[in-house]
Amino acid sequence: MNLRPLGRSALQVSPLCFGGNVFGWTADERTSFSLLDAWLAAGFNFIDTADVYSRWAPGHSGGESETVIGKWLQAGGRRNEVVIATKVGMDMGEGRTGLDPKWIRQAAEDSLRRLRIDCIDLYQAHKDDEATPLEATLEAFAKLIAQGKVRAIGASNYTAPRLAQALETSKRLGLPRYETLQPLYNLSDRAGFEQELALLCQKENVSVVSFYALAAGFLTGKYRKPEDAQKSARGKNTVQKYLNPRGLRILAALDEVAQRQRCKPGQAAIAWLLAQPAVTSPIASATSLEQLQELVGATRLKLTAEDLALLDRASRED
């Protein structure tokens, strides 16, 4: 498998990233371990998580995903085989939120402890914090890199103007820059990324690690009518957001491509993402080995020009 560079950093990652939001939530520890083992066995090395995963679940306080990954790393001795990405900035309660330098320092130590590692490969600002000067945030990240606790940094959920401002600030002050961007991007969610961010990332050689590759499961085709909302913990929100005339049009196009390619609709959706020139490594999750093998198979698909044109037409905004 050909690995892909993350920006100008020395990090090389697989063409698909495993989304760790499920670890310790919809995938228990034992299942998570088997999924991670299978991910590496299939030749993939990129795993993404965040300190806040899965604080939204009843009884959780955040850090559950990192804790599971840390136990897996310690048990298997696989640290040198993986690229670990995590994030800081979402609300962890008790005022622990944002990108203030003091909180970044504490959050990094907390993540390192939970992950049971000495260095985070890719440390990402989970969302923009306009209340904290970019200079202060980037200087805090720079100190972590200088201390050997972080290898490279990235941004998530940044607008094009703010990402451009951050890159300019890094260049002007000689500070480490965001080597990656983690935006919402998939066949159903296109406009927010394609309008400005895609061109900026390509121009500045910022690698794109897009999240929600399958639109919270909608692009697998399992949500086709309102009553399908009961099929998963996120089903209600997914149906409300995506199940509309445009969404059904996208599913119909995916069905047609899947029939031609002899694959699953979700595999076709991921293959479409992989064919986008601005995308480096989309993020997708799995809670079973069967789902994981479908993700692996998606990276081997080569959509035709006809396939890509069909999906492009079907997913255009109404």
**Residue 292 phi, psi dihedral angles, 5° rounding:** -65, -40
**What does the alpha-carbon distance between residue 222 and residue 86 come to, in Å, rounded to a whole number?**
29
Question: Is residue 297 within 8 Å of residue 250, measured between CB atoms?
Answer: no
- The residue type found at 190 is R
Tokens describing residue 93: 């309660």
- Which listed residue (53, 123, 158, 178) is catalytic? 53
**What does the alpha-carbon distance between residue 38 and residue 227 come to, in Å, rounded to a whole number?**
33
Q: Which of 230, 50, 72 is nearest to 124 (CA)?
A: 50
Residue with tokens 């000495």: 118
Q: Is the bond into 232 cis (omega within 30 degrees of 0)? A: no
**What does the alpha-carbon distance between residue 170 and residue 183 come to, in Å, rounded to a whole number?**
20
Q: Which of 298, 229, 262 is nearest to 16 (CA)?
A: 298
* Sheet of strand 150-156, all strands in order from the earlier edge strand to the far edge: 207-208, 178-182, 150-156, 120-125, 83-88, 46-48, 17-19, 283-284
User: Is residue 123 annotated as part of the catalytic site, yes or no?
Assistant: no
**What does the alpha-carbon distance between residue 207 and residue 280 come to, in Å, rounded to a whole number?**
6
Residues with a known catalytic role: 53
